Amino acid sequence: MATITTNDLKNGMALDLDEGLFQVVEFQHVKPGKGGAFVRTTLKNVRSGAVLDRTFRAGEKVERAIIDKREMQFLYREAEDYVFMDNASYDQISVGRAALDTAADYLLEGNAAVLQMYGDEIVGVDLPAAVELAIAETEPGIQGDRVSGARKPATLETGLVVQVPLFVGPGDRIRVDTRTGEYLSRA
């Protein structure tokens, strides 16, 4: 692994610290009038998502972690595992649902995703900002029930439940925001 100094930190950079694998969210170099300079950082744990504020001395050495981003295609589900194919080498890997976290709710066979890998471990998944999914089941809208902004739950083809407007029915294709899990529009 590459060792860098805290003077070389940049937003988005991954660090391998004693507490775990962290990504730099924000950093600030501070040179007070008395004493030595230091670097104040906000770090996000890549595995758990926990945020940590940490201060380093200026010039302190830290281990930089190289996170490899690989574009892969989701092929199929096999029991509790999701099988992906690397678009460059055509190798197939099985990934557990726990490693995918909420990204599994938006994956359909044939969809592309960018897997963030640290060695052989998957530490994150990048999805498009919005995906199109079909509604598997929802209650039909009742005639005359047209309250402005009213919502009802709908189960999508992946099993995800989202709140949709009353006019959306079973079989309709909708766009869902993958960051918030909210309904955006009809597709």
Is residue 39 within 8 Å of 29, Cβ to Cβ?
A: yes
For residue range 19-44, list pLDDT tens digits in order: 889 989 999 998 888 888 999 999 99
Confidence of residue 144 (pLDDT cuts 50, 70, 90): low
Where do the domains of the chain lie?
2-64, 68-126, 130-186
Strand pairing category for 92-96 and 81-86: antiparallel
C-alpha closest to that of 133 among 100, 98, 167, 170: 170
pLDDT of residue 77: 87
Indicate if 130-186 has the same CATH topology as 68-126.
yes
Is residue 82 within 8 Å of 74, Cβ to Cβ?
A: yes
**What CATH topology corresponds to 130-186?**
OB fold (Dihydrolipoamide Acetyltransferase, E2P) (2.40.50)
Burial group, residue 30, by CB count within 10 angstroms (0-12, 13-18, 19+): exposed
Q: What is the mean pLDDT of the chain?
A: 87
pLDDT value at 45 more than 70: yes
Report d(CA 22, CA 10) in Å as an integer.
Answer: 13
Is residue 184 within 8 Å of 130, Cβ to Cβ?
A: yes
Report d(CA 138, CA 161) in Å as an integer.
Answer: 10
Confidence of residue 142 (pLDDT cuts 50, 70, 90): low
pLDDT of residue 143: 62
Q: What is the CA radius of gyration of the chain?
A: 22
Superfamily holding 68-126: Nucleic acid-binding proteins (2.40.50.140)
Report d(CA 187, CA 184) in Å as an integer.
Answer: 9
Give the CATH number of domain 2-64: 2.30.30.30
Confidence of residue 146 (pLDDT cuts 50, 70, 90): low
Report d(CA 61, CA 5) in Å as an integer.
Answer: 4
Q: Which phi and psi (to 5°) does residue 20 adopt? A: 145, -160
pLDDT of residue 140: 77
Percent of the chain with pLDDT over 70: 95
pLDDT value at 135 more than 80: yes
Confidence of residue 108 (pLDDT cuts 50, 70, 90): confident
**pTM for the full model?**
0.73
